[in-house]
Structure 1
């Protein structure tokens, strides 16, 4: 009977060794680690297990357009996307990703259901944002957002889903487009955002977050 605890310990060690598997690894330089494992064991630290992030510092990825996600991940990997909130985290995380892993990550997040966020900013702000989103601002030469992002903000191929995105994140990205060249793939958005006022940005960001909310 005295040998039983020792035997159990040895058995546990053997089982632990036998369970070693690339799919349980966090090694970002290992091309054999699957995209699902990367999403659930690495990316989840910021974006949540299903791509529904809790912190508005990190974008929601659930239900996102796969083509858009592929473009962004490749942009981070090549250092083409340079906005500080992105490259501080994503340059290092993406540098060794293979094309197959990037495609798999995009497919994983595209297939996750988006969890609606509560409206933020009050009914009048959301209503003002809705007007911009659907009708644009003709006097400021700002086109309607639905032209590229869809009637319900669902996205369209290389144009991202905006519905349910954190208002703070959306506002920050609009400022990046408006004031910098840190997202060169978004040249169209630089033109669109150029004439937006700070109030316009807060309004449309509030509406985007409210899209799809109960």
Structure 2
């Protein structure tokens, strides 16, 4: 009896995994291990669901050129030099995920320090409001990435990388200038705030 149950469980697991693999286009299947079948992110890689194709394509180019450094992602990016294959993978992940409830700037009651930085910035430190690029609901658009729902640890790591000049590739090093003015506590607060937006 236990033998049949074990075989049945293995068959069920295989069919579930096979069904998931079939839904993911072949061009995107190499991304699944780190970014998840629906781009939900894992402990190995950030959330891709809902990022724009334009933004993801720019990041692939940054990994290929060496502007962004990550051994695994550089290898993965180099495997996507065929632009037709790359566009299929990018289109798939861009279509995943749901948008958070749209917030309008005037409707937002700013309560925390992170919200204040996101919606108002800090003019005394020449810090622009994050929403001016990433949008009122942090969903980004065009060359600006979605931040809403991204893993807190990933957001924090990226802000620290901008701060330490370990990441580059945006026009005029805008994110480097912004991150350099943030305190460690503000980086953590922003990362936690943005990751909680669903």
Give your verdict on TM over 0.5: yes
Deviation, structure 1 residue 99: 1.5
- Partners in 2 of 1:69 and 1:204 — Cα distance? 22
1:93 aligns with 2:76: yes
| TM-score normalised by length of structure 2 | 0.76
| TM-score normalised by length of structure 1 | 0.71
- Partners in 1 of 2:98 and 2:114 — Cα distance? 21
Q: 2:53 matched to which residue of 1?
A: 66
Contact 1:142 1:193 in 2 (8 A): no
Deviation, structure 1 residue 77: 2.1
1:105 aligns with 2:89: yes
Matches within 5 A, 1:23-42: 36-39=25-28, 41-42=29-30
Q: What secondary structure is seen at the aligned counterpart in 2 of 1:184? A: coil
Superposed CA RMSD: 2.1
Larger radius of gyration: 1
**4+ aligned runs moved over 3 Å, structure 1:** none
1:129 aligns with 2:114: yes
Deviation, structure 1 residue 137: 1.8
Q: How many residues align?
A: 164
Q: What secondary structure is seen at the aligned counterpart in 1 of 2:46? A: coil
Q: 2:184 matched to which residue of 1?
A: 198
Q: Structure 1, residues 119-151: CA drift from partner, whole Å, max 9, x if none? A: xxxxxxx83211111111222221100000000
Contact 2:27 2:88 in 1 (8 A): no
Matches within 5 A, 1:1-214: 36-39=25-28, 41-55=29-43, 57-82=44-69, 87-97=70-80, 98-114=82-98, 127-185=112-170, 187-212=173-198
